Amino acid sequence: MSGWSTHTGRAVALDRENVDTDQLIPARFMSTPRSEGYGDFLLYDFRNDVYGNPVPDFPLNTVPNASVLISRRNFGSGSSREAAVYALVDFGIRVVIAPSFGDIFASNSVNNGLLPARVSEAEVYTAMATLAGGAKEVTVDLTDKTIRLGNTTIEFTLDDVWQQKLINGWDDIDLTQNHQKAISAFRTRHVAGMPWAIPVQQNDFRSAGRDTVSQ
Amino acid sequence: MSARRLLDKLWESHEILRREDGTSLLWVDRHLVHEGSHHAFAKIAERGVPVAEPGLTFGVADHYAPTRGGPATDAIARMIATLASNTAKHGITCFGLDDPRQGIVHVIGPEQGLTLPGLLINCGDSHTSTHGAFGALAFGIGATEVAHVLATQTVWQKKPKAMRINVTGRLGPGVGAKDLALAWIAKLGADGARGHAIEYTGPAVCSLSMEGRMTLCNLSIEGGARFGMIAPDETTFAYVKRRPFAPSGDDWDRAGDLWSELPSDADAEFETEVTMDASEIAPIVTWGTTPEDALPVTATIPDPARMQGSAAERARNALDYMGLTPGRNLTEIAVDQVFIGSCTNARIEDLRAAAAVLAGRRAKVPGIVSPGSQLVKRQAEAEGLDRIFIDAGLDWVGSGCSMCVAMNGDHVEPGKRCASTTNRNFRGRQGRGSRTHLMSPAMVAAAAVTGHLTDVRDLLKQREVA
């Protein structure tokens, strides 16, 4: 994953609360290998009618080259499906701006170079008003955590760890492998203290559930 | 030493190191994978790294598992086959479709004794919070994190804030853990516990069975919390004892001593405190498209005209999607079908609760009952519950995530309305255009009997009179 520190692109408003991950990518598309691309699946049931034809006035259809999405509270709530992030990223979205995000979604975003930028409800309201006349260019700066839209600059909230991760494009597995000694030492200590940390089948599975039968 | 909470004790006992920025590297005791983990297996294959701890990793086919006959499509069959080949390749035990232990990951973990107090448990599924019912640190992770756990058996995580939801009093007859969960989510909002680990405490929580506790912890994520947990006690130990992978002999005694140390210290403080009175909670149903859209079944459908700002707009959108008229009684809502199943409510106690309502009655609408595991199914059949469901006119099917996530082909048709024991009433969750009303197994059974949303307490009273 490559890091980035500033991004300029077109912003589009998705004026809804609780855009959950089932909406971001309906479950029926999730057996597709990532290599085939997930962009077409993004918000599929909003962007397309029941016959699969695009809904012309749906925001993302009006600005197909949008790379910044502004939405309302609790964006990305629900399932842990990282495919929701793949759909956004493969569509071309680099930044989602909202008052709050689902915890797992936010973490998945950062792992894929997508910035979940938190701003206040009032700032979202103002930004959406600015976008009411159509898509506008927006510049997002990760280093000073600001968003420039028209004449206004908004500061966004982002965990410092995530800021560094996005800027540097860090890969966690690489980072963790540097700690292999500490991990091995921990494992030895941990298992000595609680041997059942290593599961060993002690009883016949056929007896499982027996305790609840007698209730 | 200052007073510690259950969260602190679990965190400290799994913390390998903490970076200067405050992020902890945690040891993972149990890693559960399913068909959806194919992205993560692909990631480690790309790097050419092995699974670090195959002995701590367990696979299960559930998300795409067929509940009637074979896989519905080639793509679904491929998902199940990919899990089988990935687990076989890395030497991971897999509870596949032909294994009598197969079932929903959050049902079989506890059932097999893989879930134990004091462990850290990860799974690429947001309902992993279920396992917190045992006093474990259990949380759902995304595919990149799943790949990380596969490769290193560790996970980077910043410690969440701690929220205590203390539930006083007693739940009334016909009111259960599902109602309690929906009640707090309605009160705090679908993001009310974001950034927090919830510990559920109080007499109403302590008196829940393990099944009830799992339902409560399962739904933590629907209120925004990645973690939900309950301190282990005698109820926990009784459930865990003699499970296939639970410790035995001297280890059992040692484990008991350690587990008894886990409950939060009496004077521990929480960043956020919430108190609820169980005796005030009625059976709850959802009316909208997020779990926070929940009300007592005795209420009326909310009227957006009486709401302010974005709440009004959101309610209007939700009611429009759900095809509901403001101001009408919730009990006037007719359903097309019912579903009893999922990691939230498909354990033996859930099936008993539904069967208690359905016994000797006929369902007015079709529906399916999908037990949480093959062992739950067998036990239910031993108790004769399957006959009650079948005699009522419902389909008694195999075990898997089924109509909760609509990945295996089981789904609700567009515009159809389903009373469901599941966890998400999101738009399209049960199939494109599906309309979901979440409620407890007893409440779903009541809706099946009358064909509309119904206060199950009325049906239970009739039973008493008879």
Tell me the C-alpha distance between B425 and B403, whole Å: 12
Task: Tell me which chain A residue has its CA closest to the CA of residue B220.
Answer: A78
Chain A residues with CB-CB distance to B93 below 8 A: none
Classify residue B295 as left (phi > 0), alpha (psi -120 to 50) or beta.
Answer: beta
Give, for all 466 residues of chain B, the pLDDT tens digit.
689 999 999 999 999 999 988 999 999 999 999 999 999 999 999 999 999 999 999 999 999 999 999 999 999 999 999 999 999 999 999 999 999 999 999 999 999 999 999 999 999 999 999 999 999 999 999 999 999 999 999 999 999 999 999 999 999 999 999 999 999 999 999 999 999 999 999 999 999 999 999 999 999 999 999 999 999 999 999 999 999 999 999 999 999 999 999 999 999 999 999 999 999 999 999 999 999 999 999 999 999 999 998 889 999 999 999 999 999 999 999 999 999 999 999 999 999 999 999 999 999 999 999 999 999 999 999 999 999 999 999 999 999 999 999 999 999 999 999 999 999 999 999 999 999 999 999 999 999 999 999 999 999 988 776 5
Q: Choosing among A88, A90, A104, A120, which should be mutated to test the B contact, i.e. which has the most B CBs within 10 A?
A: A104
Pure H helices in chain A: 21-24, 44-47, 59-62, 83-91, 103-110, 121-131, 160-168, 172-177, 180-193, 210-213
CB contact under 8 A, A77 and B156: no
Question: For residue A105, is pLDDT > 90?
Answer: yes
CA distance A197 to chain B (A): 6
Chain B residues with CB-CB distance to A159 below 8 A: 158
CA distance A176 to chain B (A): 7
Q: Cβ of A79 under 8 Å from any chain B Cβ?
A: yes
Beta-carbon contacts below 8 Å between A and B:
225
CB contact under 8 A, A72 and B153: no
| pLDDT for position A210 | 46
Chain A residues with CB-CB distance to B37 below 8 A: none
Going by C-alpha positions, the residue among A147, A116, A154, A153 that lies closest to residue A9 is A147
Tell me the C-alpha distance between B390 and B384, whole Å: 10
Cβ-based neighbours of B250, under 8 Å, separated by 6 or more = none
CB contact under 8 A, B27 and A190: yes
CB contact under 8 A, A80 and B125: yes
Task: Tell me which chain B residue has its CA closest to the CA of residue A111.
Answer: B144
CB contact under 8 A, A20 and B290: yes
CA distance B243 to chain A (A): 6
CB contact under 8 A, A173 and B143: no
Cβ-based neighbours of B311, under 8 Å, separated by 6 or more = none
Tell me the C-alpha distance between B115 and B134, whole Å: 7
Query: Among the CATH numbers 3.40.50.1980, 3.30.499.10, 3.40.190.10, 2.30.130.10, which is that of B6-273?
Result: 3.30.499.10
CB contact under 8 A, A207 and B126: no
| pLDDT for position B154 | 98
Q: Which residue has the higher pLDDT, B58 or A151?
A: B58
| pLDDT for position B310 | 83
| pLDDT for position B124 | 98
The partner residue sitting opposite A100, judged by closest CB among B194, B406, B433, is B194
Task: Tell me which chain A residue has its CA closest to the CA of residue B82.
Answer: A31
Tens digit of each residue's pLDDT (9 = 90 or more) over A127-139:
999 998 888 899 9
Q: Choosing among A194, A210, A211, A215, which should be mutated to test the B contact, i.e. which has the most B CBs within 10 A?
A: A194
Residues 94-133 of A with CB under 8 A from B: 100, 102-104, 107-108, 111-112
Domain residue spans of chain B: 6-273, 283-465
Question: CATH 3.20.19.10 occupies which residues in chain A?
Answer: 6-170
The partner residue sitting opposite B407, judged by closest CB among A30, A77, A209, is A30
Q: Cβ of A27 under 8 Å from any chain B Cβ?
A: yes
Tell me the C-alpha distance between A117 and A22, whole Å: 21
Q: What ipTM does the predicted assembly reach?
A: 0.95
Specify the 3-state DSSP secondary structure of A166: helix
CB contact under 8 A, B148 and A176: yes
Q: Give the DSSP letter string of A199-212.
A: ----S-GGGTTHHH
Name the CATH superfamily housing domain B283-465: Aconitase, domain 3 (3.30.499.10)
What token pair was written down for B345? 């409510």
| pLDDT for position A206 | 53
| CA dist A126 → A12, A29, A150, B163, B311 (Å) | 13, 35, 11, 32, 18
Question: For residue A214, is pLDDT > 70?
Answer: no
- Torsions phi, psi for B228 (to 5 deg): -135, 145
Chain B residues with CB-CB distance to A27 below 8 A: 405-407, 429
Specify the 3-state DSSP secondary structure of A149: strand
| pLDDT for position B465 | 67
Name the CATH superfamily housing domain A6-170: Aconitase, domain 4 (3.20.19.10)
Chain A residues with CB-CB distance to B314 below 8 A: 16-18
| pLDDT for position B212 | 98
Q: Choosing among A32, A159, A205, A206, which should be mutated to test the B contact, i.e. which has the most B CBs within 10 A?
A: A205
